Structure formats: C-alpha cells, structure tokens
Structure 1
C-alpha cells in the first residue's frame, strides 16, 4: 500500500530525491502525470530525472510518498522505463502550475500558484489549487519568512485556495480533468460573467469555454463582449460554429453583431443560416442603426382579439420559449395591424373565459420604424413602458423596442452588463 502522509503541495515535492528499496538515489521528481478520476484527478505516474534522462514510475510502484521521502519499489534506477511524452498526458507542473484557470464558483479567471495534493482511496489526488500570495511565497521558498514578517506587522497572510471541484482548466487537453460540478456550474454562469472570463483569456483558450456551454448561452455571451473583441473572436471561430451561435441569438442582437463585421464575412455567415432566420436578420440590418427599426426585435408575442384568456395563455406557452421578450402580448388582426395590448400579468390574473378584446388596452403608444431614439425614450419613460411596438410604413406591426435596448443607446457602459436582467 502506498503511504501518503498529510496533504502536500506540489511546490514542496518538486526537486526532491526519490530512492529505491535499498535507499539509493534514483532521480529527482520533476513532475506528476494526472488522469481523470471518479472523484478527483489522480496521479498515475511520477516523472524523475537522472543520469539516463527522464524516467517514470507508476503509482503502484511507489511505497512512500511525502515531503521528506519518495520511495519506489525497485532495485536500480535502470529498472525505471525511460519516459516519452505520450499524447494526452497531463502534467501538473507543465500543464497546470502557473496556468490560467476559471474559478467557476467566483466566476473569474485566476492563475495557479500551487497545487494541493492529498490521499483519497489510497490514491494521490488533486484536492485544490492555491491562487493566493501564500502559494507564491511557498513556490519561492519564502513562506516562513513571509509569515515572520506578517507576524511582526500583526497581520496574517490569508489562504486562498479553490477546491478542484470548482476548477475549469482552459487548455483543451487539460479540460478533461474538470469535475462534473465545475462543468455544470460553468453552464449556469451568467452570460455577462462568461463574457468577462472570455475577455481575460487568450483566444486559443476560448474554444474550451464555448465547449462547456450551449449555443444559446454562447450567443448571449457573444453579445455581451465588446464589439471589437467580438469581431476578432468571430474571425477565429469556424464559420459553421459562428453561424450556429448567431442562429440561437435574438434577431436584433444577431443583426447588431453582423453589422459590426466586414460585409463579406457577414454575408458568408448569413448564407450558412436557415433561410427564414437569415431573411429576418437581413431585414433588421437594413434599417438605420439609430432608429426604431435598428433597435427593434422582430420576435414578439401576438394573439387574436377573439381568443379567450385560456386560449391566449395556451398560445403564450407554445411560443414563449422561442421569444426573448414576454412583457406584453400584442393583439393583431389578420393583416398584422395592431389592435391592442395585454400585459402578461393581466393574462395571469383575469378569469379564463374572458375574451381578449374585452381586456386589451387599445389606447396604444407606438413608434415608426424610422423614429429616433429620443422619441422612443420619451414615450417609454413618460408612460413607464417596458417595451413599445414599432409599426412599418403600412401600419403593420414590425417589432418591439425594449427598455434595455433604448437605455443601452443612451447609457451603453452602464447598461451593457445589465441587459439580461430583463430577460
């Protein structure tokens, strides 16, 4: 049985001499090979360096493993097989130490200063990573000196460790060491937090983040990025992946993203999308950017005036999953002309057999597709509207402008990270 004494930091192990059963020096520890485990990533081999070069010993061969002694069951160093770097192997020092990772619990990107190991089911596992100043001092060999200085100043150097269950490595090959908890929590991060993470990491690592989330969340995240960075990212993504992400976005947001791209690239991505969705986005792109047509979302809830509340709610449940904004249901006639509006609250609290035409508000506030931002802002603030209908030249309803869209025009830096609070 392997003997592991206490929890260990990789910084205290690197460079330590390993001995054989006869007490002879067989090499210095320079790294540990990790593989996925059921509960934590586990050490499968240790890597030693001696006069023959790099050698490896399997975990089953190790009889003692602690800060003072690393003992391998063999007679001579020549018994150790020479190590060749196999595809897919993950090394703690080479691949994790000093690398950026995502702390999914704190929703931030951090750098690994040290790695804590420990015993679990008689295996050596990664328990946590140290991202704090103490870990850095330990790496440099100054932890005790740092504690002494802190004691003189009557301060403490805080521990700052992240349990491995909340770690998402960013290198593609190391990401397989992420635990289910981390993967699930990564999917639940707010798009604004994911955007912050993506903007802090190298472009080469972004695919790892995108691989952990669905296309709809990826679309929301893409829209949260600064336009210049977003354009660079789309250029890096494959066209098929980029078009898939754009298809999952609200049409007005997809139009905004495409409008920032070079015309040739935008048309290429539109050509890869479903024809109906591409046509809808293209129409939005043709409106002036600073107009109601440029702000509006062409997807909205619509119902008929002769429906009952029960029928309307059934319709809402059917279409709402595919619509980004569900503040109001708009009552349209057969020619898509606006007759009235009903709030979602009214639909929920009114008796089921009530006819929509008896409930709807017909004193409507609307804007035209060419209306300017100031007019939209004035109407929405005066009448306390969360969304306002947009009519085309023939008086048909073309879409809606939501409060977050118009506020973003006037307060872009304040609103950009808060836009999804309304959705």
Structure 2
C-alpha cells in the first residue's frame, strides 16, 4: 500500500470518504476491524457505509491509499455485505468510550481515542488515548486548545496506554479492557481493587473478579461495603462465589451472605467446606449490630499448660488462617478465658516459661449481645487491638477487632462512597 502514514487516530479517519482507484465514491468509513490476540492487532477490514444504503466490508489488502482519503485498488472490487466475524474487534463499536481498568492508577478510565500506526504495509492498533487530548480531538477542539496552551508555554496533557499493556477480560472486548497483566491485578492492595470494582458498571464486574485468583478476589470483596459485596456475589456463579467465600474471614463472609436472599445464601453455604460453612452459619445467627454480629470466630486459643515455645509454634501454625493474631487467649478445658498474652509478651518470654505464668489475668471482655458503642468504649479506653466476646455461660465465642468496630462507626458519607460510585452506571 502506498501513501500510508506513520500514525493516525481513529477519530480522525472515521467518516473519511472511500473511493475506487478507477474513480467513483463508494461510501464513507464507518469502522475498522482488527483481530484480537496479537500484541498490536492488525486492521483486517474496513467497514463502509455504502452509497445507496447498506454496510459493506473491504479487506485491508484492497487499500492502496489511506490518507488523506481512502482509495481502493482498481474499481474497488466486490464490496461484500457486512457480516462481521464474531471474533472481530471493531474499534468504534467495541472500544471507543469503553472503560479500561488502569492498574497503576487504581482507577477506571475511558477510551477517548485510539492510535494506529503503519508497519510494513499493515496498520496496527498501538495505544488507547485516555486523556484530555483524546477527548478534545473527538470534539474537534484539539488544535485550537493546543495553540492556546502553547501561548501560555505549556502543552495539552496526553495520556496514552500502550496496547501491549491491555489484556482482554472477555473473548470480545465489547465492554471492558484491562491494563497490565492479570498477575499485576492480583498483586494490587485489596483496598485498591475494591475501589476499582466499585467504579465498574455492574455487568462488567464478573469479568474482573474472574481475572483474579480466589484469594485476591476474597480480600478485595471483603473491602467492599456489605451491600456492594452482596451484589457482587449475586452476579457470580455459585461454585465460584462459594470458593471466594471460603477464602474470606468468616465475619466478612457472614456480612455478605446477610445481604443476599436466603435461598442463595443456603446454596453457597452448601457448596462451601463444611467446617468453614459452620463458622459462617454461627455468625449469621447473631444480630449484625451486636458483638456476635461483628465478631470473628477465628482467634488464637492457647492452653495454660503450654510453654512459650509451644505457643509460638501454635502462632506459626495458625497465623495464615487468621485475620488478627495480636493476642493469644488462654482458655480452660470448657472454653472459659483465663488470661491473655500479647504477641510481644510471648516473644519476650523464656521459651520454657508456661504461658500461665506470663499471661495477664485482667481480661477485658464483652457479652455476645453487646452493642457497638460498648465495644468501642472498651477498645478505646484500654487501647486494645481486639476484645474477646463471651456467651451467656462465659465461654469465649470470638473477638471483635478494633478495625471492625471502627469500620462500623465511619461517617455515613464515607461508608456509602463506594456503593454510590457503583450506581453511576
């Protein structure tokens, strides 16, 4: 092909007149088709709004000139009716104005334009313009604004994401693309992932969750407000949702299941590991705004005859499965608390010292029906990382962490921010 340009933006070529080399206008460019899967997908076909009505497809091999107008070889050949291949990715239809998850920025951005570059006669998709320049170019104001910025000694900010960093979340990228690799997504902080999930259109959330391993998905969903987390669960397949719930802390899983209908909750519990499901069922029996509803029933339990060295072994064996391990609680044979030992005290104790000799006996506790205000008062007054929860017989049922009770008392505007963001679409 002759007369090609090194780089061109899709917005600049849409609507361009298409003519035959032998003369005669055939129509105007409506869209460009590329094949997904390559690092820089090549343009395979042009889609033309034909004169006299009807859309037509032209193979890229028929193009002899692409700018400033599009010229086709000879008489233009036979223009076939547009029966697009289901694997085709159409730049205008499928990508312009769609959302991209920007992993580095932990945000969702919009594709304002697309940059194409020619290489050895082929035209490849090279980058997505997600910045102000792409928006202004689409509106036809870029040249004017650039001149104004130049007078002021600046330039219009350009923000482009190279296509090599865009990975498909679905077979067809009609709705969403993901920057960077899926491994990078799983490595993000759960709070950042939750922020991204809350910004997404609801219909695209399963694709993002599906790109994560179940552990990362559980941590991210656990950072969402329960209403939002329940909505996410309702959109996932039952097997996938139950696998994610197993990776979550029991209290977080219970909070989410409390937001879905009873039939769905029972279905997911039935698919979970029996031991994990029992822990969650136990928590679902309590009112959400009580110590029983806020507590986590996984905690470090020690026996009074253990030595400090044996207790540390127990810490190592249990740490991977627990949300909070700031304290070890020494319990008698019936589950009544005898004392508490901070991790710091345990590390400083002589290896052979019985934990019963180094534990603190002045344990601060709350009843299982205690209100959040009572828990908050104890945690703040005694500067605790967690407070034990006791049943009516004084047996230890779980702990409420400072994080959980503080989350309960966040201002309403902050607690609803993520949920409101999810309603934008």
**Taking structure 2 as the reference length, what is the TM-score of the superposition?**
0.83
Q: Residues 176-217 of structure 1, C-alpha deviation per residue, up to 9 Å, x if partnerless?
A: 996783322222333333333333332221111111112333
Distance 1:400 1:42, change over 3 A: farther
Distance 1:224 1:323, change over 3 A: same
Equivalent in the alignment of 1:91: 90
CA–CA separation in structure 1 for the residues paired with 2:168 and 2:397: 45
Secondary structure, aligned partner of 1:342: strand
Equivalent in the alignment of 2:372: 373
CA–CA separation in structure 2 for the residues paired with 1:415 and 1:139: 35
1:330-349 → structure 2 map (5 Å cutoff): 330-348=329-347
In the alignment, structure 1 segments of 5+ residues that lack a partner are: 419-423
Equivalent in the alignment of 2:57: 55
Q: Residues 143-192 of structure 1, C-alpha deviation per residue, up to 9 Å, x if partnerless?
A: 21222344566664322323335546676621899678332222233333
CA–CA separation in structure 2 for the residues paired with 1:120 and 1:179: 25
Equivalent in the alignment of 1:35: 35
1:387 aligns with 2:386: yes
Equivalent in the alignment of 2:181: 182
- Greater shift, 324-333 or 75-84, is seen at 75-84
1:103/1:166 contact within 8 Å kept: no
Secondary structure, aligned partner of 2:330: strand
1:237 aligns with 2:239: no
Equivalent in the alignment of 1:285: 284
1:56/1:83 contact within 8 Å kept: no
CA–CA separation in structure 2 for the residues paired with 1:84 and 1:350: 76
Equivalent in the alignment of 1:78: 77
1:306/1:356 contact within 8 Å kept: yes
1:415 offset after TM fit, Å?
Answer: 7.5
1:398 offset after TM fit, Å?
Answer: 0.9
Equivalent in the alignment of 2:422: none
Equivalent in the alignment of 1:12: 12
- Greater shift, 97-106 or 173-182, is seen at 173-182
**Taking structure 1 as the reference length, what is the TM-score of the superposition?**
0.83
Q: How many residues align?
A: 415
1:114-133 → structure 2 map (5 Å cutoff): 114-119=113-118, 124-133=123-132
Distance 1:3 1:32, change over 3 A: same
1:19-418 → structure 2 map (5 Å cutoff): 28-37=28-37, 39-51=39-51, 53-58=55-60, 67-68=67-68, 74-79=73-78, 82-119=81-118, 124-151=123-150, 156-167=155-166, 173-174=172-173, 181-348=180-347, 350=349, 352-413=351-412
CA–CA separation in structure 1 for the residues paired with 2:414 and 2:243: 26
1:192/1:417 contact within 8 Å kept: no
- Greater shift, 174-183 or 137-146, is seen at 174-183
Equivalent in the alignment of 2:421: none
1:36 offset after TM fit, Å?
Answer: 3.6
1:296 offset after TM fit, Å?
Answer: 0.6
CA–CA separation in structure 1 for the residues paired with 2:367 and 2:386: 14
Secondary structure, aligned partner of 1:148: helix
In the alignment, structure 2 segments of 5+ residues that lack a partner are: 418-425
1:236 offset after TM fit, Å?
Answer: 3.6
Distance 1:166 1:50, change over 3 A: same
1:39 offset after TM fit, Å?
Answer: 3.4
1:247/1:273 contact within 8 Å kept: yes
1:403 offset after TM fit, Å?
Answer: 0.2
Distance 1:226 1:390, change over 3 A: closer
Q: Residues 291-330 of structure 1, C-alpha deviation per residue, up to 9 Å, x if partnerless?
A: 2112110011223343344433333232222222222222
Equivalent in the alignment of 1:421: none
